[in-house]
Structure 1
């Protein structure tokens, strides 16, 4: 019966919601109030609860799974019989089934598929170590938790590896069932290996290998139809993983992996060497039956009589007796050796003389025929037969070769220069060949996405449905850049240089006078196309030809006042002045200038300056002070000294970080003894963080400080 939310089982498990339904049971999400944890409860359906065999099978599942404890197996907590309810309490996994995950993604990435397969194989291997075979491995029974952990669930048809397995009927999902399960035969660990192989096939190919209108068709396909390599549906599957899948899905169990540990080992190898040929294929065992000659046939041979095709069969009892006389292979002896020994022992020594003569004559006849053939061959080599017969023989041989090619193999077509889509289509049309990409390389001659080389090469005879490995072009390693689309002609030479260097080009700048192009801007460049590492030459304008050139002084590191004086000394003027934060240039000093130091410019030109506003912290505040004084020179010279002259300057002295720093506030000026020297400065800016200083009047000729005034600086936020 179906349980409603709120129902309590054993006064402990509260049913929250139904989360699934299987062939034999319902699955509910429940809360265990005793341990305060969420659990999953699988309850046997009502129609099976009264059937003793189903109940027994249900309990067998619980008993088998409850013995298992592994991170990749869903844990069983409790097995309960409560009135007519039979249920299992198990670990609740919040996540998605592998089947739904494949449906959403189409097919999994190779590394992701290997990671899932390794975890599943580890869980199944733990069950095998406990003597338990799952027998129903499929994506629906594999859960991917939200944390990425993969767990195997639903040991619904598991059986202990015992004599019971020998008589177990074929059960499980038909798309993943092993051939031995499909025919109702013996199932062991290799049956789970087969089902895991089909599951891996679906993960990477996005589909199961065998599909049909009904379960019988699919089951027969597992028994008889060769499996199509999964790379036929997904060319990105590496050789190593494909070989693992093909070995897992061999029709005969003895050709598969012998244990899940072997599968895990090869899967881990495939992660580090995806295209390696490391999968060990088991030798193909010759299991053909020994041919037994019955007693009636033996008597006819000894008497020299021909055995009739319509001769009545020996009585059933005699055939059974002869079958029991079949020889068994001795240690180290293969079935063919056994057949030869059996035939020799049964033939006896008393062969009929007529038969012996007949065999002797036949041997002589064969020898004569061989001699004749050899004579004909040597005669043909020596040129004895020069008639048209040789052409006839060549034609016959050609027809025979073509017939063989059409049945088993084909000549490899050329796919060089084709796109991958056209190449794949051409290969499929020529004997079902399928393409695998072995590498991608740069090519200056083959367009991106086209085939550079193939292996085997064209004209080689290959088996139908075999793989062809191709190398695909990635196009030129360094694509040429069309410089005409960058608008370099409208840029300053410095900006153009930066842009081209970002594209990993080498830039060389040359100067040239121009009456029409502004100084510093690009006049021309060459070449117009270039690729990474190439050199591009830019011709920059140096303005019109100079009539009165002067050399620009180096102003970097100088104060603004001194920079203005240096410019005036060579006949240049101070242009615009801007400020910028600098961690290296002291505040108030020149960071850069518009005209490079040492360059030639026209006399009277303006040079723009960028002054440091100090560090980022200094740019937030400035320390200001004010002074408004005047000083009479008569204090030094005395009255009546109007004809006496002195050259003076005013400077600011501050102690910054333990050392004196002196900055000129007024350039040297010559005054007479009857004049007043104004000492007036508003918003006088001092060193950052220093709150005191001294304004000094200095005699330039002697260096003597004539007078000084102490001032105080206060921090003021920058506007």
Structure 2
């Protein structure tokens, strides 16, 4: 209750003089997550405040700082970014990118089993982000649906990098961190974790996504952990009939108990995942799984079903936490694993913590070494978490005693069924002959077996190399080596038709001579018809080539008067021709109609201008109304539209024709002052020339030329002034 009060008290307060806590988002076994606002950068962040039992550990805080720095260097669109890490008094915190939305767990709780299309689409970005982390040398260690965040805008991100590693490497007891439903066998056994441990957790998560349930179930978490180590994850198609075999293989590849048989890292898994998504049919991808049915799993050696009051089945365990067992806490050996006899339960989510430290004896304080014995048929020794340490020792001793009693009873039954004296002694000579016959038969059998396995059909032989040989040559080589062969035809891009591609088993392998050898004979490359790309846009043509698994060849662009720019005009090879996958296909693409520069015909006579435009491939359009112009002669082009630039073939150019200068009536200014006459004439648009007689002393117009007649605008009017 104290810890809850302190955590809630953060709401509304400022952490480290920078992060204003807005509200509480979630609480887990290691931390409480708040929505906060970064006052410095004015953005919302997720503030993860660690619980006091972690924040008080200096060794853990040092390790957490290093892990946070490593996680902060990982920048990937599908990984939640670590923005800051620090301490504020008793508080230790991490600042992460705030993703507004929900988790994959919410999706599974709402929908149950997902269609393969949706499951593969959701897990693809998770694996991509995980691959980037693995390439950077980071391991997550706690992959689960709760750590897959789905933003409201559809972004998918993987969160909590580095936290589980920081805790697991900072606890002196070697406590194991992780959600038991998704733990890899090597983590349960206390071995070194690597990228393949994350791959195992992804496989378990994918199984749950397509079936609606987890592969292993148990009343207490330790039962689930035991199954991770000793059981094989079944094919999900057992739960979802009709599920594609490729998905079965993908899940079982990821969840193989041997790490060496799993994908090496996230990038290797991503490549196979996307290959499967590409090759499954729509019917296989859109398979609607039935409602998840809780089917009992095969019986396994597990602890008795006596969970403490208030706990829930292990299938519901999702939280991650750790516990530091007291030094005097007894531990017990269970299925080859060392387990502590304490479990914790927080908020209805019990979490089992496996210790990897030094083993303690498999007997309690009330038993002796002589009382302890190996559990029969994998029987469970001890009941972790059920009572005090003394109870555990007593229970172990009683079970050992019951086993001894059962062994003694069986021995007595075998002794009672065995006669102590024969009723017929028989003839010793006859018995001797029988023994001789048996020895002879055994010798003959041994000789036959020796011949069969040494020189006969059962003897080992090495497959000879037969690649690139004719079928007859290959069969002769196999017969000489003592093998019988069968022939099957296969497509091959590199080996000529009729020649052997290879053998199964492969050349160089040693097998028994009675085992069959299959020869793969080339039929030549498999050919596929090319799709028709003409008339498509360039982007559509590229998509069609990708769908047909063909390569894009050289692209040639050319002008075309009818096809819009970007349209495929031709392809090479032509459509319908059978070619190999990956064949480059060249495309001829339209650049649209060829542009034509507009000639400048202004000032030219109308007929000459029209001919010049038509010769360029353009159409001349004459404006219906000619326009007066004092500078352009009548009948010549006064203006054109457009006057410059480019048009396509057949484009129109509008011509405006000049009517020449307009005629203006010249009034008489004889007898008037020259200055007044000059101003009036210039206002009418004329040019004025003054000829002075006797110096023009009086300034009076004596004569005017022209006068009282209409002349073109801009004409020169001569005034004679005295």
Q: Max radius of gyration: which structure? A: 1
Give the TM-score normalised by the residue count of structure 1: 0.38
More strand by share: 1
